[in-house]
A and B are shown apart, each in its own frame.
Chain A
Amino acid sequence: MKKLPSIYVYLTKAILDRDECEYFIGDLEEIYKTKLENGGLLISNLWLMFHLFISVPPIIIDNIIWSIEMIRNFVKIAFRNLVRHKAFSLLNISGLAIGMACSIMLMLYVMNERSYDKFNKDHDQIYRVAVNAMIGDTKIGQVYTPSILTPTLLDNYPEVEYSVRFQNNSKGFLVKYNENTFNEKFVTLVDSEIFEVFTIPFISGDSSKALLDPNSVVISKSIAKKYFGDINPLGEILQIDDMNCEVTGIVKDIPDNSHFHFNMFVSINTTDSYHTKHWFNNNWKTYIKLKNGVNKASFDVTLKEIVKKHTFGGGDGYSVGGGNGYSEYVAKGNFWEYYLQPLADIHLHSDLNGEFEQNGNAEYVSMFLAIAILIILIASFNYMNLTTARLSGRAREVGIRKVVGSTRSLLVKQFLSESVSTSFISLLIALILVHFFIPAFSDLIGIYSIKIPYYENIIYLIFLIGFAFLVGILSGSYPAFYLSSIESISALSGKRKVGRGKWFRNGLVLAQFAISIFLFIGTFIIRDQLEFTQNKNLGFSKDEVLVLKGTQVLDKKSYVFKEILKENSNIKSVSGAVYLPGMGFCNYGIGVEGKDQGITLNLLIGDYDYLETLKLEMAEGRFYSKEFPSDTTGIVINETAAKLLGWDEPLNKVLYTYAQNKKYNIIGVVKDFHYESLHQTIRPSAIMYRGGEFGWRERYIAVKINTENVDKTIRFIESKWTELAPKMPFEYTFMDEEYAGLYNNEKRTTNLASTFSFLAIFIACLGLFGLISFVAELKTKEIGIRKVMGASVPKLVLLISKEFTVWVLSANLIAWPIAYWLMNGWLNNYAYRIELGFSVFLLSGFLAFCIAMLTVSYQSIKSALANPIESIRYE
């Protein structure tokens, strides 16, 4: 007779308890055989299969009902234990809660950074065209592209659905309505298709027609409120610099997580400059939307063709060096190429010349992600450690449970549910902490758009719960499996093998302190580097320099204003400028007479007193002077540019601009100075005299002042300003502050890193404190006896704390090489960096050691000082 196929046995065993399934299988087998006697093999099998299948739901439902009963019992016991060991539970839960709160906040920051520009519909089809080029020794990475690129793309390449040009300047525009004038930074001239490419919803107006006509402007809701209040802005006229624009639409404010935040969009045909056909007149930022299904990689190839065919083709535009073609250009070691940047990558992965705003930094984001993970690791190690320590005191309970009939799996379940319920309590506290500390955290990182997505994002909530569950399981698993393996006899007889968990626990302490020391080292190095960059000799003096902004309104009165200021005894010198160091520059293609190869220079533009006000130094020749009227056709280049040009005698050589083909004599060479942040090496640049081709209005007036009576001087300047430019906004900054703004990212990182590394070590110390209390408690009797036998207090303190000392010290050996490797890599981002000294490592290790010792000493001294009678008596 056939036996019952084993598949049924397995199925039954999977859903039933072991002691019950025995009979059930017997029943099944009996029925199966009866069926076999009456019918065929197939029918019996099918019948049994079917019946087994419909049997599963009721059994499982029954199981669940009973296991809920069991879990309720577990949770009840867990809470009783928590309440019994109040101090321990407090350490345990608060450590985990703080760790979780830190991680959650950091994760929110990371999520926010990664969400940039993704609100745009079809953002994966939108790209920015950027330039990667090499001219001579100068590498160029910029977002400036020629205006002609857009019509070329649209006319010749059907895969491009839209192409949009932005023309903006970082210095802002003066916007006037009736009597109100403000300096608006976020104004751009732009093609009308912008609203097809970017998702910027209209509140009123027609998105397809709003920017078609010249002198149209679309404003954001907040701008509408600022200028018009309750009046309907549609049809009103705003004066933006020289342009009188009619408001044709109102859009919603651009979300915080966008890489630009323009609030005024002026139609691009309001000015004439976009007509230029010059392929090297790079002043526009081009965004394109590719048609659905067009591959980015293949279009990158197309863009290379465009360079050959158009940029250097000499056909429908100019070309460099008289149309010699791209191959000749490349033969000299140069190249010029356009490439696409995916829209969503711009915020974190792009740091090119001409970005709209300061972008984020992918490296910092991953750094904070790493810190978030490290902190949660420390916190859960802590939790694991304390839980192991605490649970091992419950060996007797395990013994009794086993004797009464608990199975091993039941014990594992019990300990796991205990640690999971504790971690859920921690999660709850962590969420409350996050709720209260988000404002402080926003202050710390200088980003205020971080929201807690509890309600909008159910996935986020599920993730958090899963996270708490995982931490609970991870940290409960060691004690659960270790304790449930204790034999009941040895557990009950009091021969507890406490020593067995020792290696595990000490290993965790080692890991925790290695992470903490690593975070310390990182923080110190970032801080040192930041200090270094801020104190480095920049080649010009940014101290005591007051910068007035928006001075273009003075126009021709600017000269008078400067003369008035110079008369004040507290003002040392005054200079009007279009660009100041650390506050932008413009990028120009420059031809060299006698050579068929041009160079690109970053131009700073100022008046006669530029040198004096910024305390720049000349290397050769002289600066612009009133005594030489011919200086309007002079040019002062920096040393790097002089070196690039390669003349022994640079003075009186002639350069010319591609844009207007005007000639300039080199009259002087200025010593190199850092007009950009120290991320960049000094690139070739020139200071142009503000006149002729560069006779643009002065955006800034830099005033070198006395450190005394600063308030009085500022009041004086303001009174003169209101006389000459009534009702115009008086805005000023100090140049050193402006320059420090270049390091916002670093500053933010330092703040975050130092705060979180201290939190990390705090959590680690909570764990250490709990652990040392546990060890002290275990050794109570030993200490008592030793004391009776005559051991001194210092010896006892040493006895208790020595094992942790060893581990905390050896954590250095792990932390140092990793920190060295990673931080060295980070420093390589900087053109000017500090060298890694040994002292930072030593200091971090020492600091961690001291903090650990402080934590340990309290408990160890306390137990060493205890009266031995108390401790021996305890049984």
Chain B
Amino acid sequence: MRQLTRNEEYVLLCILSLKENAYLVTIQEYLKKHANNNLSFGTLFVLLKRLEKSRYIESFIGKSTAKRGGKAIKYFKLTKEGYSVLEEIHEIQASIWSNFKLNNYSF
């Protein structure tokens, strides 16, 4: 398993929580809203491409709408590998965090 960057991790989490409705526009909105992380299209595009190449996510083509000028939507969803990567990260982080108590620290 290769080390994921923080942005990649966020994108994976986004796709997880957006369920069936994860594509570039919604992911960007979601990230901005919940993680206060304002990524440009380009960065996001490249991130998605990279994750897809690493097989953590896969894409499928949805329907086209008039709002999109007749262009189809490219949706993303997590693969099994993507999900297990997130699980692993969560485990590691939870175990690390459990040893810390933020409010007890004296300066």
Q: Which A residues contact B (CB, under 8 angstroms)?
A: 3-4, 20, 22-31, 33, 51-52, 54-59, 61-62
Is B24 engaged at the interface, CB distance under 8 Å to the other chain? yes
Is B54 engaged at the interface, CB distance under 8 Å to the other chain? no
With A58-B46, A62-B49 already in contact, the answer to whether A51 and B68 are too (CB < 8 A) is: no
Q: Could you tell me if A22 and B42 are in contact, using CB atoms closer than 8 angstroms? A: no
Q: Choose among B23, B42, B64 the residue that contacts A59 (Cβ–Cβ < 8 A).
A: B42
Q: Could you tell me if A24 and B69 are in contact, using CB atoms closer than 8 angstroms? A: no
User: Which chain A positions have C-beta within 8 A of B40?
Assistant: 51, 54-55, 58
Dominant SS among interface residues on chain B: mixed
User: Which chain B positions have C-beta within 8 A of A54?
Assistant: 40, 42
Q: Could you tell me if A51 and B67 are in contact, using CB atoms closer than 8 angstroms? A: no
Q: Could you tell me if A25 and B69 are in contact, using CB atoms closer than 8 angstroms? A: yes
Q: Could you tell me if B72 and A24 are in contact, using CB atoms closer than 8 angstroms? A: no
Nearest CB of A to B81, in Å:
21
Which of B45, B50, B61, B65 has the most A CB atoms < 10 Å from its CB? B45
Dominant SS among interface residues on chain A: helix
Q: Could you tell me if B71 and A22 are in contact, using CB atoms closer than 8 angstroms? A: yes
User: Which chain B positions have C-beta within 8 A of A28?
Assistant: 41
Q: How far is the CA of A29 from the CA of B64 in the complex (A)?
A: 12
Q: How far is the CA of A33 from the CA of B67 in the complex (A)?
A: 7
Interface string of B20-33 (1 = CB under 8 A from A): 00011100000000
Could you list some 21 contacts between A and B, CB below 8 A? A4-B69, A23-B23, A23-B71, A23-B74, A25-B71, A26-B71, A26-B73, A26-B74, A27-B68, A28-B41, A29-B67, A30-B67, A30-B68, A33-B67, A51-B40, A55-B43, A55-B45, A58-B42, A58-B46, A59-B45, A61-B46
Q: How far is the CA of A125 from the CA of B102 in the complex (A)?
A: 78
Interface string of B51-75 (1 = CB under 8 A from A): 0000000000100110111011110
With A24-B24, A51-B40, A55-B40 already in contact, the answer to whether A29 and B45 are too (CB < 8 A) is: no
CB-CB nearest in chain B for A26: B71
Q: How far is the CA of A25 from the CA of B23 in the complex (A)?
A: 13
Q: Could you tell me if A24 and B45 are in contact, using CB atoms closer than 8 angstroms? A: yes
User: Which chain B positions have C-beta within 8 A of A31?
Assistant: 25
Q: Choose among A3, A20, A51 the residue that contacts B69 (Cβ–Cβ < 8 A).
A: A3
Instruction: Give how many A-B residue pairs fall within 8 Å (CB-CB).
Output: 66
Interface size class of B (residues with CB under 8 A): 20 to 34
User: Which chain B positions have C-beta within 8 A of A30?
Assistant: 25, 65, 67-68
Q: How far is the CA of A22 from the CA of B23 in the complex (A)?
A: 14
Q: Choose among B43, B50, B73 the residue that contacts A23 (Cβ–Cβ < 8 A).
A: B73
Nearest CB of B to A803, in Å:
52
Nearest CB of A to B42, in Å:
3
Q: Could you tell me if A27 and B23 are in contact, using CB atoms closer than 8 angstroms? A: yes
Q: How far is the CA of A51 from the CA of B68 in the complex (A)?
A: 18
User: Which chain A positions have C-beta within 8 A of B73?
Assistant: 23, 26-27
Q: How far is the CA of A563 from the CA of B46 in the complex (A)?
A: 100
Q: How far is the CA of A57 from the CA of B46 in the complex (A)?
A: 10
Which of B23, B71, B73 has the most A CB atoms < 10 Å from its CB? B71
User: Which chain B positions have C-beta within 8 A of A55?
Assistant: 40-43, 45
Known: A22-B71, A27-B25. 16 other contacts (CB 8 A): A4-B69, A25-B71, A26-B68, A27-B23, A27-B73, A29-B69, A29-B71, A31-B25, A51-B41, A52-B41, A55-B40, A55-B42, A58-B40, A59-B46, A62-B49, A62-B50
Which of A22, A26, A29 has the most B CB atoms < 10 Å from its CB? A26
Nearest CB of B to A342, in Å:
55
Q: How far is the CA of A31 from the CA of B72 in the complex (A)?
A: 14
Q: How far is the CA of A606 from the CA of B40 in the complex (A)?
A: 94
CB-CB nearest in chain B for A24: B45
Q: How far is the CA of A23 from the CA of B62 in the complex (A)?
A: 10
Q: How far is the CA of A518 from the CA of B45 in the complex (A)?
A: 60
Q: How far is the CA of A56 from the CA of B68 in the complex (A)?
A: 21
User: Which chain A positions have C-beta within 8 A of B65?
Assistant: 30
CB-CB nearest in chain A for B50: A62
Nearest CB of A to B100, in Å:
34
Q: How far is the CA of A382 from the CA of B96 in the complex (A)?
A: 68
Q: How far is the CA of A4 from the CA of B61 in the complex (A)?
A: 21
Nearest CB of B to A9, in Å:
9
CB contact list, B1-48 vs A, under 8 A: 23-25, 40-43, 45-46
Q: Could you tell me if B41 and A24 are in contact, using CB atoms closer than 8 angstroms? A: yes
User: Which chain B positions have C-beta within 8 A of A24?
Assistant: 24, 41, 45
Q: How far is the CA of A22 from the CA of B24 in the complex (A)?
A: 13
Which of A3, A20, A62 has the most B CB atoms < 10 Å from its CB? A62
User: Which chain B positions have C-beta within 8 A of A59?
Assistant: 42, 45-46
Nearest CB of A to B70, in Å:
8
Q: How far is the CA of A52 from the CA of B40 in the complex (A)?
A: 8
Nearest CB of B to A30, in Å:
5
Nearest CB of A to B49, in Å:
7
User: Which chain A positions have C-beta within 8 A of B74?
Assistant: 23, 26
User: Which chain B positions have C-beta within 8 A of A3?
Assistant: 69
User: Which chain B positions have C-beta within 8 A of A62?
Assistant: 46, 49-50
Q: How far is the CA of A25 from the CA of B65 in the complex (A)?
A: 13
CB-CB nearest in chain A for B24: A27
Nearest CB of B to A149, in Å:
72
Q: Could you tell me if A26 and B69 are in contact, using CB atoms closer than 8 angstroms? A: yes
User: Which chain B positions have C-beta within 8 A of A22?
Assistant: 71-72
Which of A23, A24, A28, A58 has the most B CB atoms < 10 Å from its CB? A23
Q: How far is the CA of A378 from the CA of B68 in the complex (A)?
A: 56
Q: How far is the CA of A29 from the CA of B68 in the complex (A)?
A: 5
Nearest CB of B to A362, in Å:
55
Nearest CB of A to B20, in Å:
17
User: Which chain A positions have C-beta within 8 A of B23?
Assistant: 23, 27
User: Which chain B positions have C-beta within 8 A of A51?
Assistant: 40-41
Nearest CB of B to A40, in Å:
19
Closest A-B pairs by Cβ, 6 of them? A55-B42, A26-B71, A23-B74, A26-B68, A27-B24, A58-B42
